[in-house]
Amino acid sequence: MSQPAPDKQRNARRQAWLKEAARAGGRWNGLATGLLLLDGVAAIGFAGALAGGLGALEGGMAAAWPWLALGVVSAAGRGACATLSARAGAEAARRVKTALRRRITVASLAIPAGERPPVGSLMASAVDEVEALDGYVARFLPARRAAGLVPFLVLGATAVASPLSAGILAATLVPFILAMALAGGAAADQARRQFEALSRLSALFADRVRSLPAVLAFQAEAAETRRLSGAAEELRGRTMGVLRLAFLSSGALEFFAALSVALVAVYAGFNLLGLLPFPVPESLTLGPAFFVLALAPEFYAPMRRLAAAYHDKQAAETAADRLEALEALARSPAALARPIPRAPAIRFRGVTIRYPGEDRAAVDNFGLEIGPGEVVALLGPSGSGKTTLLNLLLGLAPLTGGEVLVDGLLLSEAGSFAPSIAWMGQAPLIVPGSIAANVALSRQDAPAHEIAEAAERAGLGRMLRERPEGLDSVLDERGGGLSGGERRRIALARALLKDAPILLLDEPTAHLDAEAEAAMIPVILDGARGRTTLIATHSPRLAARADRIVRLA
């Protein structure tokens, strides 16, 4: 209650985000809701059948049969509507999640390198947090829309049989809404916090399992178990306080649901007996009286369905906050510069790169002039911004100040020089498929002989000759059977295959032993010929072979 305004704002933004995401469900959203409305109609039919059947029973079974048949059909119809609604909701959820996951994937890939959360965390967002919208779209949204309409449908049907009973139902709604507004708002807020606290404990648990080897190595298992116990016990204590309040609102719902039935039953009974202490304009008979009684529980049923789906809403809101934050990190390059035909000159002028929210600039007022075709090695301590400078040219780091000119083109205008860049990193991308297909990722329409040529130049020849299938050898999901050096050669072949005038190498020999590094260096230098090349490296041996060494502080 201390800061209602920002909370309210945040909630409004969250709701808008969820609404936008749910739009991908298209007409299936509406269908799921519509079927729940039909379920309400069938409920009215069932109540009618009960009342009609009872009235007809006096005349013997022959007269009652049609009503009883209607009852079975209506009840089965309710089940069918609910089933179909669940299926429509599931289809809507499928569409929403597929569309959202695509958005999150695209956003994940466009997050500047320095701001990128760990891959595990991105993966959790794209898979599990998107999955959290399943119940929200499939169950909660249809239930919420139906809860706004079905009670009035029930109210209308009741009014036809007994306007005063309808009045009684409507009258219980007023204190119900008041109670919900008072207790429900606070409870919902508390419940969300409790939900978040629970996810924090789960995260703590997951984290300690993840770091178990370190915990074991330091013999801290007993201490960490005690810490987990303490955290779990503390959370339990707090949670129970919250739940007491949260269950009050569902208690209010139950109470008014039961109260409405009881009031209608007592009123109808006294009306039938003619014993009401006050005059009423209607005089009930068995049929209508029984009808309104059987229908009364349906008045609050949609709200109870909604309450049952409430945790789906909480899960979706928690996910929405995280996914929205992730999307906010993504930067799409304004445009891509057109490809440059030949090795360009690259000029860094007073370049500053500062990631939002960081306490220091990753690169501060950096200047460098690189001639066409020159090979420059960037040396410097970790964290000095070597990789960041390479990512800047790709548009994957923010140019906070200064300018980069590539053959006179401005980075601040182009956004990214990716079309003119070939890249090789320390953890190359290997996808399931043939080696040829992996090499050709940089130019998917490359003819076979050019792929073979690039592979040969990258020094893959011996490895390919050892494999009976050569370039057509299929690599599995994890690129199994490839050594670190071979993976890098594939990445280098990929870089050579793309006819790009700029070559960027990010720690191309890290984690290789001396022998493998020595074999790799000439291949890299051969690939750099005719291209303006920047190598970010820690290796003095590799740097020594560049045209020029630039040290970053």
Give strand pairing partners of 50.
none
Q: Does 434 bind other proteins (CB under 8 A)?
A: no
Q: Does 545 bind other proteins (CB under 8 A)?
A: no
Q: Rank residues 5 and 478 by Cβ distance to other proteins and give the closer one.
A: 478
Residue 384 has φ and ψ, to the nearest 5°, of: -85, 0
37-65: burial string, b at 16+ Cβ within 10 Å, e else? bbbbbbbbbbbbbbbbbbbbeeeeeeebe
Q: Does 247 bind other proteins (CB under 8 A)?
A: yes
Q: Does 75 bind other proteins (CB under 8 A)?
A: yes
Q: Give the SS3 label for residue 87.
A: helix
- With vertex at residue 274, the alpha carbon angle to CA 272 and CA 276, rounded to the nearest 5 degrees, is 105
Q: Rank residues 17 and 270 by Cβ distance to other proteins and give the closer one.
A: 270
Q: Rank residues 243 and 368 by Cβ distance to other proteins and give the closer one.
A: 243
Half-sphere CA count of 352, side-chain side, radius 13 A: 10
Q: Which stretch binds other proteins (CB under 8 A): 9-17, 52-60, 348-356, 519-527?
A: 52-60
Q: Which stretch binds other proteins (CB under 8 A): 149-157, 165-173, 454-462, 503-511?
A: 503-511
Q: Rank residues 144 and 494 by Cβ distance to other proteins and give the closer one.
A: 494
Q: Which stretch binds other proteins (CB under 8 A): 143-151, 321-329, 451-459, 507-515?
A: 507-515
Q: Which stretch binds other proteins (CB under 8 A): 48-56, 173-181, 185-193, 345-353?
A: 48-56
d(C-alpha 316, C-alpha 114), whole Å: 28
Q: Rank residues 9 and 237 by Cβ distance to other proteins and give the closer one.
A: 237
Q: Does 371 bind other proteins (CB under 8 A)?
A: no
Q: Rank residues 97 and 354 by Cβ distance to other proteins and give the closer one.
A: 97
Q: Rank residues 148 and 433 by Cβ distance to other proteins and give the closer one.
A: 433
Please pick, from the candidates 149, 183, 394, 519, the single residue that binds other proteins as defined by CB under 8 A: 394
Please pick, from the candidates 272, 329, 361, 525, the single residue that binds other proteins as defined by CB under 8 A: 272
Restricted to residues 343-362, the positions that interact with other proteins (CB under 8 A) are 359-360
Restricted to residues 396-415, the positions that interact with other proteins (CB under 8 A) are 396
Q: Does 97 bind other proteins (CB under 8 A)?
A: yes
Beta strands in 341-420 (DSSP E): 346-353, 363-370, 375-379, 401-406, 409-410
Min. distance of Cβ 217 from other proteins in angstroms? 4
Please pick, from the candidates 29, 33, 85, 190, the single residue that binds other proteins as defined by CB under 8 A: 85
Q: Rank residues 11 and 201 by Cβ distance to other proteins and give the closer one.
A: 201
Min. distance of Cβ 11 from other proteins in angstroms? 25
- How is 484-523 classified by DSSP, letter by letter? HHHHHHHHHHHHHHS--SEEEEESTTTT--HHHHHHHHHH
Report strand pairing: 409-410 vs 401-406. Answer: antiparallel
d(C-alpha 166, C-alpha 253), whole Å: 18
Min. distance of Cβ 35 from other proteins in angstroms? 10
Side chain identity at residue 529, one-letter code: R
Please pick, from the candidates 11, 17, 41, 131, the single residue that binds other proteins as defined by CB under 8 A: 131
Min. distance of Cβ 467 from other proteins in angstroms? 13
Min. distance of Cβ 265 from other proteins in angstroms? 4
78-87: burial string, b at 16+ Cβ within 10 Å, e else? beebbebbbe
- CA distances (Å), origin 67, targets 71, 171, 292, 296: 6, 31, 16, 20
d(C-alpha 80, C-alpha 70), whole Å: 15
Q: Rank residues 350 and 447 by Cβ distance to other proteins and give the closer one.
A: 447
Q: Rank residues 274 and 468 by Cβ distance to other proteins and give the closer one.
A: 274
Q: Rank residues 11 and 330 by Cβ distance to other proteins and give the closer one.
A: 330
Q: Rank residues 113 and 170 by Cβ distance to other proteins and give the closer one.
A: 113
Radius of gyration of the chain from its Cα atoms, rounded to whole angstroms = 34
The residue among 134, 138, 154 whose CA lies nearest residue 37 is 154
Please pick, from the candidates 171, 335, 427, 544, the single residue that binds other proteins as defined by CB under 8 A: 427
Restricted to residues 148-187, the positions that interact with other proteins (CB under 8 A) are none
Give strand pairing partners of 284.
none
Number of residues located near other proteins, criterion CB under 8 A: 171
d(C-alpha 75, C-alpha 509), whole Å: 71
Q: Rank residues 15 and 283 by Cβ distance to other proteins and give the closer one.
A: 283
Report strand pairing: 401-406 vs 346-353. Answer: antiparallel
d(C-alpha 387, C-alpha 535), whole Å: 9
Total residue count of the chain as it appears in this document: 553
Please pick, from the candidates 170, 258, 307, 361, the single residue that binds other proteins as defined by CB under 8 A: 258
Please pick, from the candidates 363, 418, 455, 524, the single residue that binds other proteins as defined by CB under 8 A: 418
Query: For 162-220, where are the alpha helices, taking DSSP H only?
Result: 163-179, 185-210, 212-217
Min. distance of Cβ 25 from other proteins in angstroms? 12
Please pick, from the candidates 26, 117, 372, 401, the single residue that binds other proteins as defined by CB under 8 A: 117
Please pick, from the candidates 382, 449, 462, 480, the single residue that binds other proteins as defined by CB under 8 A: 382
Q: Rank residues 258 and 368 by Cβ distance to other proteins and give the closer one.
A: 258
> What is the x/- site pattern for other proteins, positions 290-309, by CB under 8 A?
x--xx--x------------
CB-based contacts of 438-446 (< 8 A; 24+ apart in sequence) = 438/475, 438/490, 438/494, 439/471, 439/490, 439/493, 439/494, 439/497, 440/494, 440/497, 441/494, 442/494, 442/495, 442/497, 442/498, 443/497, 443/498, 443/499, 446/497
Maximum Cα interatomic distance, the chain, rounded to a whole number of Å: 107
Q: Which stretch binds other proteins (CB under 8 A): 4-12, 159-167, 238-246, 407-415?
A: 238-246
- Residue 146: is it exposed, middle or buried by C-beta count within 10 angstroms (0-12/13-18/19+)? buried
Restricted to residues 437-476, the positions that interact with other proteins (CB under 8 A) are 441-444
Min. distance of Cβ 469 from other proteins in angstroms? 18
